[in-house]
Amino acid sequence: MELDELDRKAAAAFPGFVVRKDLVRRFRGQFPVPTYVVEFMLGRYCSSTDPAEIEDGAEMVREQLGARTVRAGEEELFKARAREKGSVRLIDIVTARLDSKTDSYLVTLPSLRLNDVRINDRFVKDHERMLTGGFYAEVDLGYDASIAQEKGGRPFELIGLREIQLSTRDVLEPIAEGRRALSTAEWKDFLLRSVGLEPGAVSPRARDVALLRMVPFVERNFNMVELGPRGTGKSHLFQQVSPYAHLVSGGKATVARMFVNMANGQRGLVCQYDVVCFDEVSGVSFDQKDGVNIMKGYMESGEFSRGRESIRAEGSIVLVGNFDVDVQHQQRVGHLFGPLPPEMRNDTAFMDRIHAYLPGWDIAKVSRAVFTDRFGLVSDVLAETFSRLRSQSRAGVLQSRVHLGGALSGRDTNAVTKTVSGLLKLLHPAPDAEVADEDVEWAVRLALECRRRVKEQQKRIGSAEFRNTQFSYTLGMDGVERFVATPELQSEDSIGPDPLPHGQVWALGPGGQDEGVGLYRIEVTEGPGSGVRILNQSPPSAFRESVKIAEQNLYARSRELVGDRNPREHEFAVQLRAFDASKSADQTGVPVVMALASALLGRALRGGMAVVGGLNLGGSVETVHNPVDVVEHALSKGAATVLMPVSARRLLMDLSDEAATRVQVLFYADAADALRKALHEG
């Protein structure tokens, strides 16, 4: 493989810390150990740019892993070797516990199914991590036949230990120093290669999401959700790359395991690991009713109380899961937290504790093409760097440089600040590094988008306190205020500035007791014949009623609406398209009349405009009971103008200043007045 420019720069900047990532895949699945163990061995023997040295080193790694890893069914073979030779060397997770009966430590080696291995106290003192979840190590396991003959004897003893995780803890400084040799773009690419991705094979959007996935590793108490299609590698980073992360697969999550075991005081996963990731989150449930509430409290403050004691931990919480449908359909049938378990799905207080919602749908499915064959940091070096960065903060970079808009609440600001801090730590590991404005803006835009995605779902559920989602920022004292949207809202259900074809209108249904505000597009075509027919299969009864009333109004007031044209001599085909969870299209008589008239006149309506209003057979316009919600929903959908019955004017006094300045509300007296104000003048 020919080295590229980034390979050469990285090998020079991080000597002894890089490994060719295609070698890792060569060993994947052959041995019962995670990727970071394989990479540690490769980093020891293959950290070179010389192809011959790399191949020799890879062969040595293969031999060592083959001789020292215990496959299923080989447990007794390794024990027998220890007995015959006096000791045997193997690779395993080493965990220890204090046995109070003998006042000594005992080690568990799961691959040999041994849980009573003796160990010298000095090993435990030097490697305390074995008491909090354990770590992978090369172990020399001794056997003493004389002890085996004693009653209750424990013949196995751990007589040698070599961590298969970085032995030095001061790795951050050389990594930060090496980072200075790379540009920001090169460093981003190198980070992606370090977790096994080839940046040139994925979109810029996917690269940003992959970097966002790393934020929980560098930011303490960071809460993140990623939902999207299957097969995009959502859990890979949390399972294979770092020994500081723990993956909880879908199923029962016990309070004792997550937080603290009341029986023995043993601290749970959030105390032992930097990141706790719930995989297949839709299937997760707690064994106790208050499990979710304990988790909510922990996500808010980083503390939880069990008994009289208040315990502080720093583990980040990550929830990953799958959509069974595409993101646009998910938004039409509900909201983007839909795949969460029932006790979390519609809980806006739980959602409020989520700092970032990653758009998993923007990453392509994992394939051979997206894996890198080039150099990246050894996973254990990368994991240790991330863990060291957790004690730092980059929140100070925002002060006096970035001003967040008034739509952000205190929790929103905290969430955005934590996300920006994490992204900037990833980009600039050195705390004294100069951070360019474009790096700050990149981080701020991503952070605002990921937090706004949370707020948009809270708003969809219907909580009035979350109605203002127009997130913005200003860079510098004299900068221009810029608004950040979530791209999935700027899709086919977004009201664009261009006029729709004639016969089409954006309509807003005000909803009712059981239904929120809904956005619809009404599309009408006309031809020879007579009458009005609806093309939708099984249209909602409320919409059928609106069309029927609109048809009668068109016939009765044709002179005011369409001049000398006779609507009875034309056939109209009406189609309704719904873009929200609301589907009834109730009280849409005025927009239907306008669509019919627009089709007959052959004239388009103004762009960026949405219309609300119901009609009765006498031509009177019905009152809109929730005009503030309607205008704010229109704003979230991109509308610049809302046509509203004049009877709602006084009720709009409660409209927020921001909505009032960003959306023009035009009032109309009747359908003919609405049509005159809506017709495009171009």
* pLDDT, tens only, 21-41: 888 777 776 787 877 788 888
User: Which 3 state secondary structure label does DSSP give 371?
Assistant: strand
Give the pLDDT confidence score for residue 167 in this predicted structure.
Answer: 46
Does the domain at residues 491-678 carry the CATH identifier 1.10.20.60? no
Q: Tell me the sheet residues that pair with 350.
A: none
Q: How many CB atoms lie within 10 A of CB 39?
A: 30
Residue 495, both tokens: 């009201």
Whole-number average pLDDT of the chain: 88
Tokens of 147: 């002890």
Mean pLDDT of 542-553: 96
Nearest Cα residue to 21 out of 7, 31, 9: 7
How high is the pLDDT of residue 27? 79
* Measured distance CA(446)–CA(626) in Å, rounded: 33
What are the helix (H) ranges across 334-409? 342-345, 348-352, 379-389
Residues 473, 482 contacting (CB under 8 angstroms): yes
CATH of 170-377, one of 1.25.40.10, 1.10.3720.10, 3.30.420.40, 3.40.50.300: 3.40.50.300
Identify which has the larger pLDDT, 72 or 76. 76
pTM of the model: 0.68
At 682 the pLDDT is 47
Give SS3 for 615: strand
Q: What element of type H or E holds 68? A: helix 51-68
User: pLDDT confidence of 84, banded at 50, 70, 90?
Assistant: very high
DSSP state letters, 294-323: HHHHHHHHSEEEETTEEEE---EEEEEEE-
Q: Where in the sequence of the chain do the CATH 3.40.50.300 domains occur?
A: 170-377
Q: What is the pLDDT of residue 681?
A: 67
Distance CA 455, CA 351 (A): 8
Query: What is the location of CATH 3.30.230.10 in the chain?
Result: 491-678
List the beta bridge partners of residue 666. Answer: 643
Which pLDDT score, from 0 to 100, does residue 514 have? 78
Query: How confident is the model at residue 247, as a pLDDT?
Result: 87
Listed ranges 170-174, 204-208, 579-583; the one with the highest mean pLDDT: 204-208
Q: What is the pLDDT of residues 183-200, one digit of tens each?
A: 999 999 999 999 989 999
Confidence tier at 498 by pLDDT (50, 70, 90): low
Dist CA 173 CA 184 (whole Å):
18
Q: Is the pLDDT of residue 635 over 50?
A: yes
d(CA 157, CA 614): 82
Report residue 326 as tokens.
Answer: 């595409």
Give percent of the chain with pLDDT exceeding 90.
53
pLDDT tens sequence across 211-231: 999 999 999 999 999 998 888
Q: Residue 332: which pLDDT band, with cuts at 50, 70 and 90?
A: low
Rg, C-alpha atoms of the chain: 31
The Cα 287–Cα 285 span in angstroms is 7
